[in-house]
A = this chain, B = another copy of it.
Amino acid sequence: MTTETRTRTTPEAGLAATMAEIGRRAREAAAALALAPAGARARALQAAAAAVRARAAEILAANAEDVAEAKRAGIGAALVDRLALDPARLEAVARGLEDIAALPDSIGRVLADWTRPNGLRISRVSVPLGVIGIIYESRPNVTADAGGIALKSGNAAILRGGSESFYSSRALVAALRDGLRVADLPEDSVQLVPTRDREAVGMMLKMSGIIDVIVPRGGSSLIELVQRESRIPVIAHLEGLCHTYIHRAADPKKARAIVLNAKMRRVSICGATETLLVDRAIAATILPAILADLRARGCEVRGDPETLAIEPLAVAATEEDWRTEYLDAILAVRVVDGVVGAIEHINRYGSHHTDAIVTQDEATAERFLREVDSAIVLVNASTQFADGGEFGMGAEIGISTQRLPPRGPVGAAELTTYKYLVRGDGQVRP
């Protein structure tokens, strides 16, 4: 970033200077962005979508470079597929930005207001968090989503993408910055860390006073690194070890459809069910059809002894299976002692992400909703609904599994904080 240096610097010192400059620019941009009208932020997002379309050839060429490097490095086909953009995927990126633009504004909402006996009028109003550092892996569309959501909520973003998608991310950020320029907002509202040097992540985690919040989005080793090293508050997205419990009063048809969808619609997302719990009272009658459905779709079943007695083709589950997020076509199945047994199992082995019950009995449903200690608890619906879009929040930056807010799906409205405005008429405190 510095155009001239008088003394030779080590690579670390050079990177440190670069990161400091990025931080300075981000803070300046955040201050301006926080005061920009909602209209300007929405215009920037629409213009960014147009720029993604206008720069399509350039973005796809940059992506081809990433893909070629990935293949040379011998990265597996599934990862290469996640990395690759094509005109249809790029159009989805542009439409995603337009969808974010169309969401209601998340800044300046009056979250509560009241008047005190002394006449002070107090209101709590949503404001941006400030500068958000987003650290993520591989998929280039996250660059557009994360940058777009941050912008929508009035935050400046420092993006550190996966090194595999470096060129794609750079091209996408150029489009986001086009949009900012068109709307007369500071370009530095969205910046990409301009190096694949891993040191940069460590430096971001220590930029307290500059970066207000770190959002890691990736595998558990990334999240653990961030939680261990960060001196900045983190919005963490840990694993989704999700359960579906079939209660004795379940509608068998609904149970069958929900389990199949919860496990197999997409096996690699955090809302996919990993463990099926079945009420002992109906296990023998309901499990055969459910497991046949799963087998027909290529799903491996790992069962406890009672499940094995019903379904001899299943593999025996070990203790480890109750603790495993497969993200694959594998389902652990356990027979439990009613809703109490189900809740105990979930609170003990789950990751407090998303869990569901299937039942027609309202009292049991309400008990499950109350006693399962997870970010999302569902009745008679698939755990795969754990998604900001499905919640109506527009794009999401992930599902937070931490306890302090934001918990659950994190969209633009959740990337805000608030301040208190107090309007008086000369009051002094007695």
Residue ranges of A at the interface with B (Cβ–Cβ < 8 Å)? 31, 34-35, 114, 116, 120, 122, 127, 129-130, 208, 212-213, 227-228, 231, 233-235, 251, 253-254, 257-258, 260-262, 265, 347, 365, 369-371, 373-382, 384-385, 387, 390-392, 402-405, 407-409, 417-429
Contact of A428 among B231, B257, B371 (CB under 8 A): B257
Contact of A385 among B373, B408, B417, B422 (CB under 8 A): B422
Inter-chain contacts of A34 with B (CB < 8 A)? 373
Closest 9 CB pairs of A and B: A381-B424, A261-B428, A254-B426, A378-B422, A384-B429, A380-B424, A381-B427, A376-B420, A382-B428
Given A265-B429, A429-B265, answer yes or no on A423-B380 (Cβ-Cβ < 8 Å).
yes
Name the distance in Å between A424's Cβ and chain B's nearest Cβ. Answer: 3
Which of A120, A129, A260, A420 is most buried by chain B, counting CB atoms within 10 A of its CB? A420
- Contact status B404-A213, CB under 8 Å: yes
- Contact status A390-B423, CB under 8 Å: no
- Contact status A212-B419, CB under 8 Å: no
What are 30 sample pairs from A and B whose C-beta atoms fall under 8 A apart? A31-B347, A35-B370, A35-B371, A116-B391, A116-B392, A122-B392, A129-B403, A212-B404, A213-B403, A228-B231, A233-B234, A261-B429, A265-B428, A369-B423, A377-B420, A377-B421, A378-B423, A379-B423, A379-B424, A380-B425, A380-B427, A381-B422, A381-B428, A384-B428, A384-B429, A403-B417, A404-B417, A405-B418, A408-B418, A408-B419
Bound-state Cα–Cα, A426 to B378, Å:
10
Bound-state Cα–Cα, A382 to B31, Å:
26
Inter-chain contacts of A35 with B (CB < 8 A)? 370-371
- Contact status A404-B129, CB under 8 Å: yes
- Contact status A375-B419, CB under 8 Å: yes
Inter-chain contacts of A407 with B (CB < 8 A)? 417-419
Bound-state Cα–Cα, A34 to B31, Å:
40
In the assembly, how many copies of this chain are there? Answer: 2
Inter-chain contacts of A371 with B (CB < 8 A)? 35
Name the distance in Å between A350's Cβ and chain B's nearest Cβ. Answer: 13
Name the distance in Å between A415's Cβ and chain B's nearest Cβ. Answer: 10
Bound-state Cα–Cα, A122 to B369, Å:
12
Further pairs besides A258-B428, A377-B419: 20, Cβ < 8 Å:
A120-B390, A122-B391, A127-B373, A208-B227, A253-B426, A257-B426, A375-B420, A377-B421, A378-B423, A378-B424, A379-B421, A381-B424, A381-B427, A382-B427, A382-B428, A382-B429, A385-B424, A385-B427, A404-B404, A405-B418
Of all chain B residues, the one with the shortest Cβ separation from A119 is B381
Inter-chain contacts of A129 with B (CB < 8 A)? 403-404
Does more than half of chain A's interface fall in helix, strand or loop, or is it mixed?
mixed
Of all chain B residues, the one with the shortest Cβ separation from A409 is B420
Inter-chain contacts of A234 with B (CB < 8 A)? 233
Inter-chain contacts of A382 with B (CB < 8 A)? 427-429
Bound-state Cα–Cα, A402 to B405, Å:
13
Name the distance in Å between A157's Cβ and chain B's nearest Cβ. Answer: 15
Bound-state Cα–Cα, A421 to B407, Å:
12
- Contact status B233-A429, CB under 8 Å: no
- Contact status A251-B426, CB under 8 Å: yes
Inter-chain contacts of A231 with B (CB < 8 A)? 227-228
Given A35-B370, A419-B375, answer yes or no on A381-B257 (Cβ-Cβ < 8 Å).
no
Bound-state Cα–Cα, A130 to B347, Å:
13
Bound-state Cα–Cα, A387 to B260, Å:
53
Name the distance in Å between A237's Cβ and chain B's nearest Cβ. Answer: 14
Name the distance in Å between A212's Cβ and chain B's nearest Cβ. Answer: 5
Contact of A417 among B127, B384, B405 (CB under 8 A): B405
Contact of A381 among B31, B228, B392, B426 (CB under 8 A): B426
Name the distance in Å between A130's Cβ and chain B's nearest Cβ. Answer: 6
Inter-chain contacts of A391 with B (CB < 8 A)? 116, 122, 420
Bound-state Cα–Cα, A198 to B324, Å:
38
Of all chain B residues, the one with the shortest Cβ separation from A116 is B392
Inter-chain contacts of A392 with B (CB < 8 A)? 114, 116, 122
Of all chain B residues, the one with the shortest Cβ separation from A131 is B403
